[in-house]
Amino acid sequence: MPDNETIIDLDNALKRALGDGAFLNMLFDEFQRMLPEFMIRIDQAIAGKEMVLLSKEAHQLKGSAANLGANEIAGAALRLERLAKNGSYTEAASVLDDLTLAISRFDAQLARIEWSRLIDG
């Protein structure tokens, strides 16, 4: 199992949010809200063997996750993006499972963050 920093690099995310814990919390909330939509589009792209769409969606998810320090999600999205660019849709389903697990770990770690400590200083 990955360590917490592999799942979410909170220190880096907080630096990117210019030390503003409330802003970072809002960014994470928005990211969590968008994740199901990403997953639906990625799943549909894999099912339809639409590698261009899969590459685009995986790339967008990778960027969003990386900007928030959600490293495990970013890594799985990068693997999906590479598979899509190579036309390897048969392997994409197992990487989708990895991405789903990464999101579950992300959600669990995010729920353990003491936002009041970050927001109040």
CATH for 53: 1.20.120.160
Domain extent, residue 110, equals 4-120
What confidence score (pLDDT) does residue 1 get? Answer: 57
Sites in the chain below the pLDDT cut of 50: none
Non-local CB neighbours of 41 within 8 Å, separated by 6+ positions: 53, 57
pLDDT by residue (tens digit) across 66-85?
A: 999 999 999 999 999 999 99
Overall domain count for the chain? 1
What confidence score (pLDDT) does residue 3 get? Answer: 61
CA distances from 57 to 4, 28, 69, 82 (A): 25, 19, 18, 12
